[in-house]
Structure 1
């Protein structure tokens, strides 16, 4: 338990430092917003960005630092906790993948209505990365999606043990809250995301990438939960698949740390706006 807490504390410390460095760039865009329904997309950033958290996390944990940093660059950004049971609202992503996909679809519609935008971009981590691919393919809203940036998605499945470990490390209520939720109500999403799980079969049956959507999949060679690491990738025409280490070879970042890693953040923002992609100074992320 102490080791897990130290791991999480270290990752959060790295995240705080990374966000300060990431948002301190001299050429920031004006405007932007973080879960602000009055935010209006700009000419520079015409699509709001919807962030999708991982298993056991919430809208205010996992991708919250990255979301705030992207908002500071002038984007309208939004997030919502999906897949939580009413009895355990601080533990997201546990309900069946298809149920959560319906929630996410509704949230995307809400964002489009509030902002007046015609499309959103999706950025997801882990289960959220899987959902960014799954929702776009299965919910009949591909025309509403401009770009998908999936960070370490278990595209072709993973192990239940790995997903449970991730939930224990990321749960807002701590290990006890996540453990109690799993014991009381279970984790249908875990069953959906194992290799050959129902959601994995649905996603990988036929093409994953949808016409008109720009896809980027980012993962680490040292990801210890989605293994083999190349199974995160979508090997289809037009999809950009990249390891963090292709750009930053000495970054040891692992699965959890990918949500908080400064190098990943820069790769994400470059993927959101490839026409204005910039070179950046690599830092060392958190292993594990």
Structure 2
């Protein structure tokens, strides 16, 4: 591990632990004039019926015409299916299903089981998780296919739109999926990102400053080809997009620029609770961040800080989470940063696939 990586990893590990310790715990038919000849009346009715059917067909066909499937997935369907796990109530959901997408150096259990998965399930939401390949450390153009497939499957299995909550890399992958697979927008209600590096992070930029570095770091760097392709055009406005960040994030920065996506509702937890000390992993436990997420899930449109209100600021963490599980995530995150040096180093960012170059 280079001195630069050691120094940055050490700083991030120390800050992550400090942020966690600082978190307080929370307790009709068409009318026809009668004088018209019968044949004329019949003809008009026939034409009116045909027009109605054609109009209806046109209305129904419009989404399909706009919903091209996008690029063909290169990952085998069996592999993608195996990566998706859903609660048993997703097929008869009375609430909008929620798909949880984890971040780099993690998996669904470490990121979600002790907090969002546990609490959202208790609140009656069907919850699904997707396990990203290689702990989300490979080319994101491959990783995002798991998210694309998961969105389609959850929508088809539940028969209704779903909402997405993602953290870190898991907060930016759904945006890429929605950008380049047009059929997904009609399947998604809310897309909610927690600490999603929507324009990249300078941490990745610093890690790659010495030359070679892992593909994932190059793609997450500010100004990368991947990030430029993502933000070149907005995603479909029919999807409610909330991006939540923190001025205290020691992994995704600078704040607030790093978590801002064009056309989204971009919120910092400090907009709601000024001075709140919340870091990258801390956002997964933070009561204010959770309040913004659930506000988006329970209302039309994105989250509204004014609707949430400042009363949530007296809470540190949201009720129902397991703090022991969060401690395990911190240890995993630290191990992940240490394992960064073991990833394959390359001199160039992975080439954009054709769909991303022209899209």
TM over 0.5: yes
What's the CA shift for 1:63? 3.1
The equivalent of 1:69 in structure 2 is 119
The equivalent of 2:37 in structure 1 is none
The equivalent of 1:121 in structure 2 is 163
Instruction: Answer yes or no: is 1:188 the counterpart of 2:230.
Output: no
- Assess if the C-alpha contact under 8 Å between 2:200 and 2:221 holds in 1: yes
The equivalent of 2:292 in structure 1 is 267
RMSD between aligned alpha carbons?
3.3
The 3-state SS of whatever aligns with 1:271 is helix
Q: Kindly tell me: are residues 94 and 240 of structure 1, through their superposed partners in 2, closer, same or farther at Cα, counting changes over 3 Å?
A: same
The equivalent of 1:245 in structure 2 is 270
- Assess if the C-alpha contact under 8 Å between 2:242 and 2:266 holds in 1: yes
Q: 1:103 & 1:163 partners in 2: Cα distance?
A: 28
Provide structure 2 residue ranges, at least 5 long, that are not aligned to the other structure.
Answer: 1-9, 28-84, 208-212, 318-325, 331-359
Q: Kindly tell me: are residues 144 and 163 of structure 1, through their superposed partners in 2, closer, same or farther at Cα, counting changes over 3 Å?
A: farther
Q: CA deviation digits over 1:215-268, x for unaligned, max 9? A: 1111112222222212211232xx321110111124210112111212211111
The equivalent of 2:129 in structure 1 is 79
Deviates more, 1:70-79 or 1:132-141: 132-141
The equivalent of 2:262 in structure 1 is 235
Q: 1:39 & 1:144 partners in 2: Cα distance?
A: 15
Q: 1:41 & 1:14 partners in 2: Cα distance?
A: 37
Q: 1:8 & 1:219 partners in 2: Cα distance?
A: 18
Instruction: Answer yes or no: is 1:108 the counterpart of 2:133.
Output: no
Q: 1:281 aligns with which of 277, 288, 312?
A: 312
Structure number with larger C-alpha Rg: 2
Instruction: Answer yes or no: is 1:211 the counterpart of 2:237.
Output: yes
Matches within 5 A, 1:93-172: 93-114=136-157, 116-140=158-182, 141-161=184-204
The equivalent of 1:225 in structure 2 is 251
Structure with the bigger percentage of helix: 2
Number of matched pairs: 239
Provide structure 1 residue ranges, at least 5 long, that are not aligned to the other structure.
Answer: 22-33, 85-91, 165-185
What's the CA shift for 1:103? 1.1
Report the TM-score when normalising by structure 2.
Answer: 0.59
- Assess if the C-alpha contact under 8 Å between 2:188 and 2:239 holds in 1: yes
The equivalent of 2:348 in structure 1 is none
What's the CA shift for 1:13? 10
Q: 1:11 aligns with which of 12, 20, 32?
A: 20
Q: 2:196 & 2:15 partners in 1: Cα distance?
A: 25
